[in-house]
Structure 1
Amino acid sequence: MSITTPTPEPSPEDISRGLAELERHLATQTPPAPIAPARHDDAEGQTRRVQRLRAEVAEAQLLAELQDDDTPLLLDTAKVRKRRKAAREASRLHELAQDPAMRAWQAARMRRLLVTAGMVSLTLALAWSTAGVQTFAADGADPWSPSWVFAWLVEPFMSLALLVVVGARAYLATHGQPIASPTLVRIEWLFLALTLGMNAWPYLPWSVEEFSVSRLVLHVLGPIVAVAIVTALPIILAAFTHLDHSRQYPRTGPEYRTNTPPEYPHRGPELAILAARVRRLIAAEELPADPGTHKIRRALGCGTDTARAVKAALDEEKAR
């Protein structure tokens, strides 16, 4: 039977040495932990210049991403929208102007304007001649004498009578029922002749000691204008009465259509149809046997390139 010797307990110094040896062993076996990089968003230690430059870089990166997007370029600017609105309005006004009702309204408006202007001008012309008629009617009477005062009334009552006749004819003519009465025409010319004669007589060569052409023209100007208006107004109103508002009036200048309109393509069955139409026109002697491009364009109402294509097709048929 063996006797076991008890193991002595380690002293504190032994424990400290053992821990030191263990730390040295672990230090040689484990790699050092990497140092974490400093965060860019950490503002500690950054100057204002660094922060401003960092903001510029971030802004440039965002702009580089957004500038490849073409969506803003697809939007209409205020100037483009204004032009499109004006073009649409002009198109609708042009379409409205072709409406017969709109044409009738425009003609009636213009007719009223012309009648109003003519009557105002006639009234002013007769008022202009009042002084000349008063001089003729007074016949040298003293100012403010009864003869001198009543001489001022001669032209007004003749003018009113003339305006009654002219106004009645103008009103009825604007309503489509012009008066064709020789009696009324003679009455108008009678009043106008009296007004013209009374204005011109005191200034004719045998009535004055010193004749002046300018003075004579100045005093007969009013009656001459009245004669012109009374003569022209019925003719103008008669022309308005015979207007046909449903008629499509031709353009005053040559019209050049699009060379490639969709209704007249240069190739295909439509070209054969156009060529057949030209052959029928040639057979009916509405076109010559060998029509040129210009005559084909006018006959078909197409563009120049289409007419050339039709001409080429006809030439190919003749060559066969």
Structure 2
Amino acid sequence: MSIGIPTPEPTPEDISRGLAELEQHLAGVVPASAPAPVEYDGMTRRVRQLRAEVAEAHLLADLQGDDAPLLLDTKRVRRRRKAAQEAARLHALGQDPAMRAWQAARMRRVLVVVALVSLTLALAWSTAGVQRFAADGAAPGTPAWLFAWLVEPFMSMALLVVVGARAYLGSHGAPLRSRTLVRIEWLFLGLTLGMNAWPYLPGVAESFSFSRLVLHLLGPVVAVAVVTALPIILAAFTRLDHTGSGIPPTGPPYSTNAMIRYPDEHGDGPDLTALTARARRLIAAGELPADPGADKIRRALRCGMNTARAVRDALSADHA
């Protein structure tokens, strides 16, 4: 085991000399640089926040004077404008003669169908009452009792033939006016009404009941109402004016009709001036061609052929 030699302790001079050598060494490796002086400009976070608020306020004040956002349509305004435009177009379409004629034809068809269905149900309602009258106390299941169920159907079918023919012809502008057919309708309806009411009349029924009498009269009464009202309704449809001119679309198509609608000052003939002016309005509206023939003028003005030729010559003079 070796014994170490103790090193002498450094003196203060040795420490000062070592520090000086160390400073010289560091000065040679890293050049000393003087730190830049710090200047305080006062831009704190509160100052920057307030400056941003002031700048924002100036921009908002400038933009508030612009009314451009107020001129823009909102979603609600656009919806209202769209609905208004649609309503205006539907109203204009509803004034079109073709649309009005189509609406009238559709409504007339619906009314005819409903009336015939109601008539059929009313006649079917009275079948039981007629069967009781026709069976005349026959036992159920016997031939007389079974054939009694056929009395009302064959009368109803005969009545529906007459009513259907009158309804169809009336809906096409050719109402069927025949006293014979009217008598046939009332004969069938009277028979149905009488056979339904007879077993329940006072003095005939074992125990009279007014409510039962009314109940069995309901079917024939509805049938009478439908048969009476349907021709009147269809005749009113044929007199509709789809053009808005105030002149019914049906009526006598010859010169006498024109004389009634367009009498001249002396009342002895059609007013050619008024007819020619009306023809010019129809041409301007597109309902007549620019150079219409006499037949087209006759159908449009519903006048006689001689009057139509005179109007055609007057129109031809306009192009001469």
TM-score range for the pair, normalised by the shorter chain length: 0.5 to 0.7
Deviation at 1:201, TM superposition (A): 0.5
- Cα distance in 2 for partners of 1:129, 1:52 equals 95
Query: In the TM superposition, what whole-angstrom CA distance separates every residue of 1:70-91 from its partner, at most 9, and x where no partner exists?
Result: 1110001111122222222222
Deviation at 1:225, TM superposition (A): 0.7
Is 1:158 aligned with 2:161?
no
**Closer, same or farther: CA 151–39 of 1 in aligned 2, 3 Å:** farther
Which amino acid is the alignment partner of residue 75 of structure 2? A
Q: 1:194 aligns with which of 191, 202, 207?
A: 191
Question: 2:211 — aligned with what?
Answer: 214
- Cα distance in 1 for partners of 2:137, 2:54 equals 105
- Cα distance in 2 for partners of 1:150, 1:51 equals 109
Any residues of structure 2 matched to 1:107-256 within 5 Å, and which? 107-248=104-245
- Cα distance in 2 for partners of 1:74, 1:37 equals 50
Deviation at 1:99, TM superposition (A): 2.2
Deviation at 1:156, TM superposition (A): 1.4
- Cα distance in 2 for partners of 1:226, 1:50 equals 96
Query: In the TM superposition, what whole-angstrom CA distance separates every residue of 1:202-224 from its partner, at most 9, and x where no partner exists?
Result: 00112112211111111011101
Which amino acid is the alignment partner of residue 139 of structure 2? D
In structure 1, stretches of 5+ residues that fail to align are: 1-33, 250-320
Query: In the TM superposition, what whole-angstrom CA distance separates every residue of 1:261-284 from its partner, at most 9, and x where no partner exists?
Result: xxxxxxxxxxxxxxxxxxxxxxxx
Is 1:38 aligned with 2:35?
no
Query: In the TM superposition, what whole-angstrom CA distance separates every residue of 1:155-178 from its partner, at most 9, and x where no partner exists?
Result: 112111111111111111111122
Deviation at 1:60, TM superposition (A): 4.2
Which amino acid is the alignment partner of residue 162 of structure 2? V
Question: What is the TM-score normalised by the length of structure 1?
Answer: 0.59
Query: In the TM superposition, what whole-angstrom CA distance separates every residue of 1:182-214 from its partner, at most 9, and x where no partner exists?
Result: 222121111111111110010011211221111
Deviation at 1:134, TM superposition (A): 1.2
Question: What is the TM-score normalised by the length of structure 2?
Answer: 0.59
Any residues of structure 2 matched to 1:86-101 within 5 Å, and which? 86-101=83-98
- Cα distance in 2 for partners of 1:198, 1:56 equals 99
- Cα distance in 1 for partners of 2:49, 2:139 equals 103
Deviation at 1:133, TM superposition (A): 0.8
- Cα distance in 1 for partners of 2:47, 2:162 equals 98
Query: In the TM superposition, what whole-angstrom CA distance separates every residue of 1:104-151 from its partner, at most 9, and x where no partner exists?
Result: 122112211111111111111111111111111121222233222222
Query: In the TM superposition, what whole-angstrom CA distance separates every residue of 1:15-67 from its partner, at most 9, and x where no partner exists?
Result: xxxxxxxxxxxxxxxxxxx9855385xxxx84xx8877666555544433333
- Cα distance in 1 for partners of 2:86, 2:106 equals 22
- Cα distance in 2 for partners of 1:168, 1:94 equals 36
Any residues of structure 2 matched to 1:220-299 within 5 Å, and which? 220-248=217-245
